[in-house]
Amino acid sequence: MTDLTAYRSAARAWIEGKIAEFGREARRGLTPAEDLALGRRYLAAKYEAGYSGISWPRENGGQGLSPTEKLAFDREEILHGFPTEYFSISLGMPVPIMLRYLPDGWKQERAIAALRGDEIWCQLFSEPAAGSDLAALRTRAVQDPDNGDWILNGQKLWTSWAHLADYGVIVARSDPNVAKHRGLTYFWVDMKAPGVTVRPVTLAAGDAHVNEVYFDDVRIPDAQRLGPVGGGFGVAMETLIIERYSATDPAANGPSIARALADATRMTRDGRPLIEDGRVRERIARNFATQAALASIHRRALLSLEAGTQPGSEGAIHKLVSVRNRQRLSEFMIDIEGVSGVRWNEQATRKDDWATSWLTAPTGRIAGGADEMLLNTIAERILGLPQDHRPDKGVPFNEIPG
């Protein structure tokens, strides 16, 4: 057993030694290409220091420790604005699911390359007509009877970091003649393969880390299939479970409660600090209480993983509530600051600026499952309520009206 206090202390010391070179201030004014290069150097330094893949098996380039140690490191790291966002999807979902399904050798090489920041993976799930309802996707995978290769045609949307990715995991419809959940198959794809076109999409905050991705007769061998033919929905659900428990920040990537307290102490009204106003203290306290509850849910899930069992659907609660909580606190802090609260800073991030946090929160409420889908999951799988009426249940996909 690792002494968690000693581990966290050592991790904090290592992290503090990297702030000047890789932290928030070191990134200011960098071009996107320069920032990505800085991020790759930071991940390489993490890998050499033994802080990459903390809970991954040693044979896959990890440290073989528990999710508890990973959580301890992540909660120290997240405070300083290191350039890790380019790799969060890659290391959070695609590479872990690839490690579960692909044969040894190649996957270890890819895992180490991802941990070092040399390679990036993306996750190709959502489509124009299939966002939260993943089973409604229309990207087709047709198998060539001559050699067993699969030919992909279709479009994916909102794919984070696809423009930087070397590889991606993708779910496609391999059989339209069966019910929509049963006709899907899961693959990995080379993002530089002929026929793959990536087009960035600019979001409201001005960033363009999400993309449209088009597949035009993209040929991939059957060896790039993860799981059984027709079993792609199940593999996708495994991936989403990993995603729901990969978040380590109870503030859901917004400014911290400590930042809210500091700002409310700095701001004044009628000559008095706003923190002396009971209404301000009450709003911040409610947000803190919610974050503490979310941290408990996350901790419970990590203990389940540590015990070798799969967490349940409570990850839907964490995802649903955390971003809403961040959005409410960001809006409140903008309100109490007044006109200066809505001044736009192009260099700011959602971790250090309330306006940027508020403007980017709606994206977080859609990514990884929209609020409505999460509410259904909570109702059906946690509360045991009956399913919504589904007129397409059991109907072959090609018979569902478009």
CB atoms within 10 A of CB 217: 10
Q: What is the pLDDT of residue 25?
A: 92
Looking at domain 122-232, its CATH superfamily turns out to be Butyryl-CoA Dehydrogenase, subunit A, domain 2 (2.40.110.10)
What average pLDDT does the segment 303-311 reach?
71
| Topology given in CATH for the domain delimited by 4-120 | Butyryl-Coa Dehydrogenase, subunit A; domain 1 (1.10.540)
The answer to whether residue 249 scores a pLDDT higher than 60 is no
Catalytic residues: 243
What average pLDDT does the segment 128-144 reach?
91
Confidence of residue 32 (pLDDT cuts 50, 70, 90): very high
Q: Distance between CA 12 and CA 7 in Å, rounded? A: 9
pLDDT tens per residue, range 147-196: 999 999 999 999 999 999 999 999 999 999 999 999 999 999 999 999 99
Distances (CA, A) of 298 to 247, 305, 312, 329, 384: 8, 11, 11, 20, 21
Q: What is the pLDDT of residue 95?
A: 95
Amino acid letter for position 104: D
Average pLDDT, the chain: 90
**Residue recorded with tokens 């423009």:** 163
| Topology given in CATH for the domain delimited by 247-382 | Butyryl-CoA Dehydrogenase, subunit A; domain 3 (1.20.140)
151 sits in which H/E element: strand 150-156
What average pLDDT does the segment 21-45 reach?
96
Domain boundaries, the chain: 4-120, 122-232, 247-382
Please list, in sequence order, all residues whose beta carbon lies within 8 angstroms of the beta carbon of residue 279, skipping any fewer than 6 positions away. Answer: none
pLDDT tens per residue, range 203-239: 888 888 999 999 999 999 999 999 999 999 999 988 8
Q: Distance between CA 6 and CA 294 in Å, rounded? A: 25
Q: What is the pLDDT of residue 77?
A: 93
The residue ranking higher by pLDDT, 340 or 309, is 340
Q: Is 225 helix (H, G, I), strand (E, B) or coil?
A: strand
**Residue recorded with tokens 């290769």:** 149
Please list, in sequence order, all residues whose beta carbon lies within 8 angstroms of the beta carbon of residue 40, skipping any fewer than 6 positions away. Answer: 116, 117, 118
Q: What is the pLDDT of residue 241?
A: 72
CB atoms within 10 A of CB 376: 17
Closest CA to 68 of 3, 145, 140: 3
Structure tokens at 337: 């600051």
pLDDT tens per residue, range 63-108: 999 888 988 898 899 889 899 999 999 999 999 999 999 888 889 9
* Terminal CA-CA length for the chain: 55
Q: What percent of the chain has pLDDT over 90?
A: 63
The answer to whether residue 61 scores a pLDDT higher than 80 is yes
Say what angle helices 232-244 and 315-337 make with each other, to 10 degrees: 50
Q: What is the pLDDT of residue 173?
A: 98
Q: What is the pLDDT of residue 79?
A: 85
